[in-house]
Amino acid sequence: MNVRPSDASCGAIIDDLDLRSLDDTGLAGLRAAWLEHKVVGITGQSLSLEELEAFGRRWGPFGDDPYLGTITGHPHLVEVRREPDERAPVFAGNWHSDWSFLAAPPAATLLYGQVVPPTGGDTLFADLEAALEALPESEQRRLETLTAIHSASRSYAPDGRYGRSDVGRSMTIRSDESARATREHPLVRRHPETGRRTLFLSPAYTVGIAGMGEAEAAAVLDPLFAHCGDERFVYRHVWSPGMLTIWDNRCLNHMATGGYEGHRRLMVRMTVGEREAVTAS
């Protein structure tokens, strides 16, 4: 296993690894590299849907993918598809941590590049541990006292980004009134496996702060959103055909990009929950 760290505060590319024949020792080494770099792209894979599911299940329990249609016969896999002539906005083209509005957000997302266009389609990742560490200590202590409110309303409610006005998309997205529900999570929390402190928020799903009015919460959140998206904390992940990328939703935001008009892009994703009895080291 050859690990090539990026020049950013997160991100690495891993070569010379066949996930189909990975033993438990190799899996532990891969997980250690993932926890260190937060997002890893494993090159040169040739995985069937069944093999992708089997590997993901070794990573952790199946997670939920609300509002997204799954692949027939594979209820835990989702196609992230875009056809060459598609004109709808790029899916997931804003900063977010996957499904942070759930009571138990997923630990990881796996995304496998079945059809990768020759140009564009990079994924951006923002390191929220590094973003927190860069804040003054007094500000970190203040943020530790706050609880953020998360909701899928801006994205998956009928009047949201992927609601009734979202047409001409090849992916299956099902908006619903249930997206207006809210869930609270600490604004600063400890990573359950590494023990490192991290911010936990995103422009897509963080809609307020408990105990604050809308204007007061915006005065806290908007500068934080801008801070987390600063280039100091951002890694640009470039895909290659057959790459499996695994990222840590507990300490990263991510965002899709376009730039591949006229080309097909087809990825298969799977979310993974927390492993049982995981505790911070």
Q: Using CA atoms, how far apart are residues 2 and 17, in angstroms rounded to an integer?
A: 8
**pLDDT-based confidence at residue 276 (cuts at 50, 70, 90):** confident
Residue 169 domain boundaries: 2-272
Does residue 279 lie within any of the structural domains?
Answer: no
277 pLDDT exceeds 60?
no
Q: Average pLDDT over the chain, rounded to whole? A: 97
Which structure tokens are listed for 200? 């936990």
pLDDT at 281: 33
φ, ψ at 261 (rounded to 5°): -55, 140
pLDDT at 279: 42
Residue-wise pLDDT tens digits, 96-112 = 999 999 999 999 999 99
Which pTM was predicted?
A: 0.97
Does residue 169 lie within any of the structural domains?
Answer: yes
Does residue 69 lie within any of the structural domains?
Answer: yes
Does residue 278 lie within any of the structural domains?
Answer: no
Which structure tokens are listed for 259? 């730039």
Best CA proximity match to 224, nearest among 203, 249, 255:
203
Residue with tokens 């009047």: 159
Does residue 277 lie within any of the structural domains?
Answer: no
pLDDT at 221: 98
Residue-wise pLDDT tens digits, 157-183 = 999 999 999 999 999 999 999 999 999
Angle made by CA atoms 50, 55, 58, in degrees to the nearest 5: 130
| CB distance 47 to 55 below 8 Å | yes
Give the CATH number for residue 182.
3.60.130.10
Average pLDDT over residues 67-74: 98
Q: How many domains does the chain have?
A: 1
Q: Which amino acid is at 281?
A: S
Query: Which residues are CB-contacts of 134 (< 8 A; sequence separation ≥ 6)?
Result: 227, 232, 233
